Amino acid sequence: MSNQNKPRSHEPIVWLLFAAGGMIAAMLMPALVVITGIGAPVGLIADGSLDHERVIGMLGSPAGKLLVFPLISLLFWHAMHRIFHGLHDLGIQAGLGYYRVLCYGFALLATLLTAGILFLI
């Protein structure tokens, strides 16, 4: 009776994106951070392999794009989902609906940007 009136939450949409991004972050991010943020800048990676042409050849290939797109965009969904819930956890009640649009809107924008740039490469 009373159960049947409960409106369905639309959270599954963002939760699935959050969870997929979480698995990527948990499994891949530490190694990726070591590679892109520490190893490569310090020069631990074989010479020449980070030249513009080589990287474009790698990431610009269909397979490269197929890997990079979910990687980057899902990290955004993962982070923005937690940040939105974090605002609620901080006790923010006023304007939470507005923050929801802002947070997930930002993730969507980043997703479109990623796709757009990959399209250009």
Partner 1 sequence: MSDGSGQIDILISRYDPERDDQPHTERFTVPYQHDSSVLDALLYIKDRIDGSLSFRWSCRMAICGSCGKMINGVPRLSCKTFLRDYAPGPLHIEALHHFPVIKDLVVEQAGFLDKLPEARPWLIREQEQALADGPHRQSPRQRARFASTSACINCLLCYAACPQYGMKPDFAGPALLALVERYNADSRDQGRAERMPLINAEDGVWSCTLVGNCSAVCPKGVDPAAAINRNKLESAKDYFLRFLKIGSGGAE
Partner 2 sequence: MKAHYQRPMGRWYLRPFYLFVYTLRELTAVFVLLYALILLSGLAALAAGPEAWASYRQALAHPLSIGLHGLILVAALYNSITWFMVAPKAMPALFIGTRPLPGLLITLAHIVVFVIVSVALLVLAGAG
Which positions touch partner 2 (CB under 8 A)?
A: 19, 22-23, 25-42, 44-50, 52-53, 55-56, 59, 68, 71-72, 75-76, 78-83, 85-86, 89-91, 110, 113-114, 117-118, 120-121
| Cα separations in angstroms, 22 against 16, 36, 70 | 10, 19, 12
Nearer to partner 2 by Cβ, of 101 and 109: the residue is: 109
Task: Name the one residue in this structure whose structure tokens are 């937690």.
Answer: 82
Q: Applying CB under 8 A, does 26 fall inside the site for partner 1?
A: no
- Determine the size of the site formed for partner 1 (CB under 8 A): 18
Q: Which entry of partner 2, partner 1, none binds 4, CB below 5 to 8 A by partner kind?
A: partner 1
Task: Identify what 52 binds: partner 2, partner 1, none; CB under 5 to 8 Å per kind.
Answer: partner 2
Q: Sign of the C-alpha dihedral, residues 24, 30, 35, 37?
A: positive
Buried b (16+ CB within 10 A) or exposed e, 84-108: beebeeeeeeeeeeeebeebbebbb
Q: Which is nearer to partner 2, 4 or 18 (CB)?
A: 18
CB of 51 to partner 2, least distance (A): 8
Matching residue, tokens 């490469």: 121
